[in-house]
Chain A
Amino acid sequence: MRKIITSIFVFGLIVLTTVPTKSYSNLPTNEELQVGLSQEFENFNPMIMSMLATTWMYNMVGRTLMVLNEDAEWEPQLAKKIPSLENGLAERFTEDGVEKIRAVWEIVDNAKWGDGTDLTCRDFKFAREVALAPTVAITERETYEQVEEIIIDENNPRRCTFKYKEAKWNFNQIPKFYALPEHLERPIFEKYKEQPEGYEQHSLYTTSPTNPGLYNGPYVVTEMTLGSHTIFERNPYFFGGPAKINRIITKVISNTGTLEANLRSGTIDMISVLGMSFDQALAFNQRVQGRNLPYNVNFQPSLVYEHLDLNLDNPFLQDVRVRKALVYAIDRPGLTNALFGGKQPPAYHNLAPLDPWFTNDPKKIVVYPYRRREAARLLDDARWKLRNDGFRYNENGERLELTIMTTAGNQVRELVQVYLQDQWRSIGIRVRIQNEPPRVFFGQTTNRRRFTGVAMYAWVSSPESNPRSSLSCDRIPTEENGWSGQNYPGWCNERVTELLEKLDLEFDEQKRLNIIHEVLYHYTNEVPVIPLYYRSDISVTPINLRGYQLPGHQFSATNHVERWYLEDPKKMENR
């Protein structure tokens, strides 16, 4: 018996020690790349897809007129050129007393659907028709609604004029204006358009997702199993030339704790941006460097803005000195260095550094360094006196007490929450933690303003977008307005509201910048919201993957998937 055990043990040791630490032989080649995603996907009908995983994957098979590239600049994709007032492709005009805009979009000459049919303006016009049908459950209809009419050039079906119903400076930023293959989808739409959700349920994207004619991107879908995997193969008709990787397989691995194990056992070669949690990525990065594993762990600060909403109806929080004390007492650089290895930058306000409107100039906005004793002094000023139990009390004998709420089960937020509790405790504020499942938190607590003190969550917005919905006076959710609007703190500054109204209609870039900087000044000065940090996007790629860049905004890396290629592992070994 003992002999058997010993031999098993020895065998185990041999197996363990012979597993090579850095093995190039397991690296993927241009033949096939397997990508792990931690989230489920639905289907690739661009009208209805709403899951992040679907959008990530859609960009491998479908393209739109334009996209924000890795340097956060607009870049035409299906369009030849982005029309603007400066390049003469767009013009302002007045119709019935309303100022409007006309812009000419021209689709690249070789744009085709995956079955060889030409992609023309008719496909965009059809998409708009579907989007506006009352029976289709599209989430953001505004994109299509802002275009009043699409007029197709009689001589060139790839050239058309979009007539916008309002003259907004960002009329030409329509990255979510998708095209639908009219030649395939029109009959289905005509048949089911009277039935609620009928089109979506019978669309070819749902019933026959492997039909190549549905896609215009570098790849087409050749196999799809909901909840499990999708196989993408090269689209010979892609307008941007053939993609370099032959086949890409995406797999859903919803438990993030096993992503690393899957990666190292070879079930997947790469972890997409929808994958590891921050802590896992940090730890894995250490192991990758320590043991020289053949992966790159990519971190990219993103537009996701983690913050604390302060409910300004709370009598304690109505005093701006208390709010400022709360900010001064948070060691944000310490927080991000200690918990995030410095890889998620501290936030100044609601705009991320990637945003062209960003500023951290102390002349333009109010900047709060970590000054614990300054915070204590502000509270002393506000007549919150420290008592022997270590907490502060006002003249009525009320204790300075706040409830901080966030989404239960989100480990990073819960860590930060406990960290904040400790920091505020040190200036004499008692902090109670009460977390709720995301459904409850977003379903009734934030959007009905039921949090009494502080709510921690994140916003994500595209660069240069108007923050009106979360900052204007008229966007405070109330019973009367049916709880619409996202100004959850209940912050009302008339000047800010007025400035944000003007922002969309301002065509002068410098003036827009001035407007937004003034808004940011008020935002940072009055502290309705405490900025915490900007989240980072994370992905893990094999070391031989080239042409890949993590963008950090919601336009995914797959928008340039045709540039990805895998260097030959053998060549790498010879280096």
Chain B
Amino acid sequence: MTAAATLPPALPGLDPAWSRLVRVHDAVLGREVVHHVLDTEGALVAAGAEPVGTILAVHGNPTWSYLWRALADESIERARAGAPAWRVVAVDQLEMGWSERTDAVRRVADRVRDLGALTEALGLEGPVVALGHDWGGVIVSGWALEHPDLLAGLVLTNTAVDGHAALPAALKAALAASSVGTEHTTAFLDTTLAIAHPRLDPAVRRAFRSPYRGAARRQGIREFVADIPSTDAHPSREAVDRIAAGLAALAAPALLLWGPRDPVFQERYLHDLMRRLPHAAVHRFEGAGHLLPEDADVAGAVLDWVVAPTPARSAPGAVVPAVETRAMWAELDARADDDAPALVELHGDDTRTISWRLLARRVHELAAGLHAIGVQRGDRVSLLVPPGADLTAALYACLRIGAVVVVADAGLGVQGLTRAVKGARPSWIIGIPTALAAARSLGWPGTRIAPTGLSRLARAALGVEHTLPELARLGSGRALPPEPAPETLAAVLFTSGSTGPAKGVRYTHARLAGVRDALVAQYGIDRGTGLVAGFAPFALLGPTLGCRTAVPDMDVTRPATLTAAGLARAVAAIDADAVFLSPAALTNVLATDPDPAEFDGVRLLLTVGAPVAAPLLDRAQEVLRNASLRTPYGMTETLLVADVTREAIHEAGEGDGVCVGPPTARAQVRIAPLDDDGRPGAATTTDADVTGEIQVHAPHMLAGYDRLWRTDAAAKAGTPHEEWHRTGDVGHLDAQGRLWVEGRLPHVVTTADGVVTPVGVELAAQRAGASRAAAVGVGPRGTQQLVVIVEGQAGPLADPALAAAVRLEVDRPVAAVLAVPELPTDIRHNAKIDRARMARWATGVLEGGPVTTP
């Protein structure tokens, strides 16, 4: 069937002024055909804005330019607000959307040519950022390769150019159904529209369907599916392969935006694109799926990027300035002949001691073994092994050969871990059987390696291909590959995810070594130190610090399982003088009848991972009589920002927040003051008593977030030469230069009388008698009411006496004092209260709704 191009009817979110019909000479038919396109040029000119460039947006199958309506709208909004104006040209491909139905079969190569003819007809001049979704990504990539003079950048979302990979099941189904699925019924269309997260508004779904009413109008959908090169003999195979090869040489800046919940374009296609475009910025929108522009803020991401694109592909041989760094494994090399204990693991009554000589040899063998089975520099290796000798050896082996370790601890929960592992997409997983079983059943990627020998049956069941003992044998006597450079990626560490999905944090070798050097500088840990590491991340640093390390008997995912006896055994085993614990572990140690005499050798107790209350430290001091009790403040992104002693906490006294002490020797701290709306501005200060977002600059800070380009850009302050990390924490510096932490930025309460930060209020509630409390805001920003939720009562209203006491102690108006039996906290630390959840709960309760469990 043929049909003329028409303008679309009135549809939600679509401004009729954007629509235009464009006549183009068609090479397939040898005559003029008509395209429908959305073009914001008129709207921009009307708004008095001069376009600085064009975003050429190409939809896939079976959508149409409607997919880009938010981009069109946002681009105009931003231009009106004074940002550089980017014109959006979103095409309806021929046979699709409201463009002409010509009855011709159009293959990839034809469609690339169609697009070129269209941009020529439009007279597009550079710069052009090419943007494509689904198979539109292939078409626009083809166009980009043919227009290098116009091209300023390439943005691809949920697409694929790797025609040789096995076709996704969902597409196979569409192919098998052929015309039944794609033309005569609307199944393909319906399925595509049904997988949006959250579900599409019915009016939007109708709008997507509107140009595809009647089988004849859907012919293009069928032909498009049929053009997927499913076999080597397929007529479009060569064209797609040429585009795929072209991308591997594309120099222009590139951005890959991805919805991981896509049954068609799964993550492996993202990784294929990342291999071809290693310079591309990547952002995975956790929770979003195939219809990414519907599920996530693609418009905002694209418009942010076009005004400040990430670097183009660097020329081969570009020199990265070398950083003077002592390698993480240098201490192991230096002590390869030392028989003193390096690691001691305690399990019940068992003690396993590993000397420096053994550890160094083990690391060397594993490194060589991993290299021998094909672990390449830059390969990602997920480590799902509890802290201990196996994890430590595997970690240093990976670092030595330049593999990137991915560390996500089990405290994230299975769901969080799955998200983390799938997001980081390791090529290899070293994991204990439970982790490997999860890897198998949940479809985690990566070749599986078990830390210990397994029965043949278990091995088959878990899909294990290697074990660490085998790798050590394999690596024995083999030479190691050259050492990785300090500025290359060494590790991806996951945050606890207490404020949204866990984020991967990137550390280079230099910055990881910086963490070690910061610990040495701040705490004087050296070869003479015996360290009990009851907090997993620090257990891993022992060998590079050069100190002997003991891992006490505990379930690391549940710190409260560490007992006084367990800690005493670990201290005795290595004659420890330093102990690192989480507050939850320390609490349990103090609650399980500790004998102070057993801890008299301990000179340093570091409580890490979560805020510590002074009373807990006071009780700890009664047990650890000779120890300096210190608490560093930091986060996965910068582990050591500030540090405070118990005495200094008392000296600081009460204040608005928790005093975390002065910045550590190597860290700089500054404050970005909050405005009345609770948002930090661009200005920063180190003046006393100004509340704002805490920013950090340190040699041991993160190198960036992993595959979260937008998050990364938003968390950066300062200049490219001196980058500062926006911590997302709120606090102030005092006149003595000490830092006080007042809460998390999104938890700041914005009342009509100014901003209120939660921690000071929560501490006041505790002084009033609450065991724990959450301070949250309810109501619209700027006119929120402060609400305190105390723990340990049935609720929803707190006992009147406690409510009155809380009001008295908190020095600002409290609208309501609510109560719950238990406040929700993060799994990893059992300490960070989920204030966002409590705010939602309090809002419902105070609205007069039913009283639910938070």
Asked if A and B are interacting partners, one says no
